[in-house]
Amino acid sequence: MASILKSLRLFSDDTRLRLLLLLRQEELSVAELQEILGMGQSRISSHLAQLRTAQLVADRRAGKNIYYTLNPNALALELEAVLEAAALEMPEAKSDNRGLDALRRKRADLSREYFNRMAGRFGRTYCPGRTWEGVARMLFTLVPPLLIADLGAGEGHLSQLLAKRARQVIAVDNSEKMVEYGASLARANGIANLEYRLGDIENPPIESGSVDLVLLSQALHHAGNPSRALQAAHRILRPGGQVAVLDLLAHQFEQARELYADTWLGFTEAELGAMLQDAGFSDVDSAVVSKDEQNPVFQTLLATGRK
């Protein structure tokens, strides 16, 4: 049995405590813990090493992966009570549990993993006429006549494609030049059902309960407060309306802040799913849908929800 005093010292660190709370519920690899906690590999491995030395966690190797779990023989009843109290008191515990739920769904969803692999192969082998652009344009023709809000639209190329089938598209951006350019481009192309509005994605100038679909395509990581932006998306949607968020998976490429004016370095599936749920959305789902081949190897995350 682990030393009570040594264990209590280990419990004094929030990260180690969060790891123990998760490993008490599920056997997890370092990569899976990274996904849930949104932390770096070295940080998690360092804390796990301390917990393993104290015999609070056990590990096993399966192929290239090492899985960790709580050592059931290591905790005295007093320490178990500490974990129970921590689960109620730590504000991160709730979001960690939601991340764990998302990971469990991901493990069970074999078809999603299959399509993730297929997405990575698409376009690598030349096939005449088979391009992402062609597939995207085909799918755009299937869009029903909805009222769509494209938040953080930029110049609005996506909005213009959607407007060919949608009943109306409202493109919102906080850059006057972007709005001016996009509006002039729409006029030049005779797109009458596309309206550009100057505004912030955290408080878009759109009437509450008025749109069928809200899109945030590579816009959320520019928001000062992403949760507020998703709450705004929920506000402007009609009951039954949907939100679709296309953004970067959490990464460590700090230069993105300067190069691309990124406020956030992407989001984990758990973080984005939790924000959507907190904003009031149901049927929340998320998946990694693409991966760059060149450094810094950005990955793209798609998350959806329904009001």
Residue 46: which CATH number?
Answer: 1.10.10.10
User: Average pLDDT over the chain, rounded to whole?
Assistant: 85
More confident residue, 147 or 132: 147
pLDDT digits (tens, 9 = 90+) for 37-48: 988 899 999 999
* pLDDT above 80 (res 106): no
Residues of the domain holding 216 = 112-306
Higher pLDDT, 208 or 128: 208
In a domain, 226, yes or no: yes
Task: Classify residue 106: in a domain, yes or no.
Answer: no
| pLDDT beyond 80 at 112 | no
Whether residue 105 is contained in a domain is answered as: no
Residue 116 identity: N
Question: How many structural domains are present in the chain?
Answer: 2
pLDDT in tens, 46-91: 999 988 888 888 898 877 788 999 887 766 545 666 777 777 778 7
Alpha-carbon dihedral sign for residues 141, 147, 152, 154: positive
The sign of the CA dihedral 258, 245, 307, 169 is positive
Band of pLDDT at residue 123, cut at 50, 70 and 90: low
Cα-based distances in Å from 139 to 98, 133, 135, 156, 165: 32, 10, 6, 18, 11
Q: Tell me which of 59, 93, 127 is where a domain ends.
A: 93
Q: Which residue has the higher pLDDT, 221 or 83?
A: 221
Domain identity same for 148 and 290: yes
Closest residue by Cα to residue 167 from 212, 205, 215: 212
